[in-house]
Amino acid sequence: MLGVEFIRANPREICQALTRRGIPAGADLVDHVLEQDRVHREALTLRQVKQQAANAESRNIGVLMREGKHEAAKVLIARQSSLKTEIKELGETAASAEQTLSELLLTIPNIPHESVPDGLSEADNVEVYRHGEIPSFEFTPLPHWEIARQHGLIDFERGAKVAGAGFPFYMDVGARLHRALINFFLDTATRQYREVRPPLFVNEASAHGTGQLPDKEGQMYHVSLDGLYPVPTAEVPLTNYFRDEILSESDLPIKFCAYTPCWRREAGSYGAHVRGLNRLHQFDKVEIVQLTHPEHSYDVLETMRRDAETLLKALNLPYRRLLMCAGELGFNQTKQYDLEVWSAGQERWLEVSSISNFTNYQARRMNIRFRPESGGKPQLVHTLNGSALALPRVVAALLEYNQTENCSYELPEVLTPYLP
């Protein structure tokens, strides 16, 4: 979330940002925030003054009691009660304003970076880079589910029987191909990032920290008996690792990578676009996360984007890089790239990675700061993350792009060492 001090100082900028994101009535929202903030601080200030008086009086009572002057003490004690009532009421006013304020703050998204293009729909995302050629075939290319079925790589039907739609079994080479990709991705990532094997379930506080809660609640599975959420992405445990901690400036940047399965409910999805591996309830992903000094986060965004692209290049898959427009940008992000591979059998682009800068938006929620070496108060870090990469659509693209006549396929050379 944004800091109130920031909103107080830049109301106009916030309104502008809300407009860019296509959120109506931004000005009213900002006014409401400023009003609650004012009420909160007024009550707080007044309560402090009263509390100060009460504390002083209590100390006097203590002195009198010790001296055995009980009658004098009783007079002071009697005088305290109205003060106590006032303090209590002011405290309640402050608390309720603070509550309203923090609820309002959760509805204000992060501010799009100046380099983010205007626009409200998918069509306004800007393709800033394209790699490789869209292939043409001398036969009709098949979608991956046909190829997978023919070769017994994936069993969607039994997955549906045993767990449900969106929970496929990967079999034999299909299973091994997953293991190969995970290892290839991790081996590449660990050249720069610390490898982490995180918890696959997180608690409510963690889900709040990275912003899955409250607005994306329906996206996660929920183990209500234990109050836990199966991770929708490794971003959640990795970014929360340092929650409520103060780091040394020299600790930065923190660089983590992790392979995890990811679980998403994907409620309401249906139709041809979710067929095969296009959209699943459980999928595998290698995630990269960084916590950086505020001055470096936009440079780091570019390096992380490059790290993800290196993998696609090595796999020799045609892909494009989109710079998300203001309206399509995630709620918590200031700038976001999506990488999409070409699905030769479906003739469409499939998102396999999203790389984002959250600046201090998540860090404020999680209270992750660093102590500047030059002295001064602890400052919020910036957080970033990216997929490097999400597996199922990469598998789909590999099968479709590398298919040959009669439903055969090959796999890129980089994977050979991983496929004994």
- Cα separations in angstroms, 180 against 132, 173, 192, 203, 289: 23, 10, 20, 31, 22
How far is residue 364's CA from residue 246's CA, in Å, rounded to a whole number?
12
Stretch that binds RNA, among 79-87, 298-306, 340-348, 394-402 (CB under 7 A): 79-87
Q: Distance from CA of residue 349 to its chain's centroid?
A: 23
Task: Count interface residues toward RNA (CB under 7 A).
Answer: 27
Cα 20 from Cα 26, distance rounded (Å): 10
Which of 48, 99, 102, 408 contacts RNA by CB under 7 A? 48
Least CB distance to RNA at residue 378 (A): 5
CA distances (Å), origin 394, targets 128, 186, 215, 275, 311: 21, 15, 29, 15, 10
Q: Are 61 and 104 in contact (CB under 8 A)?
A: no
Say if residues 337 and 324 touch (Cβ distance below 8 Å).
Answer: yes
Residue 57 lies near RNA (rule: CB under 7 A): yes
Q: Which of 296, 322, 306, 293 minimizes the C-alpha distance to 380?
A: 293
Hey, is 381 helix, strand or coil? coil
Nearest distance, CB of residue 45 and RNA, angstroms: 4
Among the listed residues 52, 99, 102, 150, the single contact to RNA using CB under 7 A: 52
Question: What are the beta bridge partners of residue 382?
Answer: 292
61 binds RNA (CB under 7 A): yes
Residue number, 55 or 310, with CB nearest to RNA: 55
| Closer to RNA by Cβ: residue 47 or 321 | 47
Segment lying near RNA (by CB under 7 A), choices 37-45, 129-137, 247-255, 386-394: 37-45
Q: Binding to RNA by residue 58, rule CB under 7 A?
A: yes
State yes or no: residue 102 binds RNA (CB under 7 A): no
Closest among 316, 339, 306 to 414, alpha carbons compared: 316
Pick the closer one to RNA by CB: 69 or 273. 69
String of contacts with RNA for each residue 246-285, x by CB under 7 A? x---------------------------------------
> In terms of CB distance, is 52 or 416 closer to RNA?
52
- Of 43-51, 110-118, 250-258, 398-406, the window that binds RNA (rule: CB under 7 A) is 43-51
Residue number with CB closer to RNA (66 or 191): 66
| Helix residue spans in 251-367 (DSSP H) | 297-314, 361-366
Nearer to RNA, 45 or 102 (CB): 45
Query: Of the candidates 77, 171, 213, 247, which one interacts with RNA according to CB under 7 A?
Result: 77
- Residue 52 tokens read as 């100060």
**51 scored as a contact of RNA (CB under 7 A):** yes
Indicate whether 121 belongs to the interface with RNA (CB under 7 A): no
Site string for RNA, 207-236 (x = CB under 7 A): ------------------------------
Indicate whether 200 belongs to the interface with RNA (CB under 7 A). no
Asked if 417 contacts 181 with a C-beta cutoff of 8 angstroms, the reply is no
Query: Helix, strand or coil for residue 316?
Result: coil
| Interface with RNA, residue 65, by CB under 7 A | yes
CA end-to-end distance (rounded Å), the chain: 48
- Whole-number Å distance between alpha carbons of 308 and 328: 21
Q: Are 357 and 335 in contact (CB under 8 A)?
A: yes
Figure out which of the listed residues 10, 16, 39, 41 binds RNA, where binding follows CB under 7 A: 41
In the bound state with RNA, the residue whose beta carbon lies nearer, of 80 and 303, is 80
**55 touches RNA (CB under 7 A):** yes
- Provide the 8-state DSSP code for 243: T
- Listed in sequence order, the residues at least 6 apart from 56 whose beta carbon sits closer than 8 Å to its beta carbon are none
* Residues numbered 350-389 forming contacts with RNA, rule: CB under 7 A: 369, 371, 377-378
Q: How far apart are the C-alpha atoms of 371 and 71, rounded to whole Å?
A: 52
Q: Which spans of this chain sit near RNA (rule: CB under 7 A)?
A: 5, 41, 44-45, 48-49, 51-52, 54-59, 61-62, 65-66, 77, 80-81, 84, 246, 369, 371, 377-378
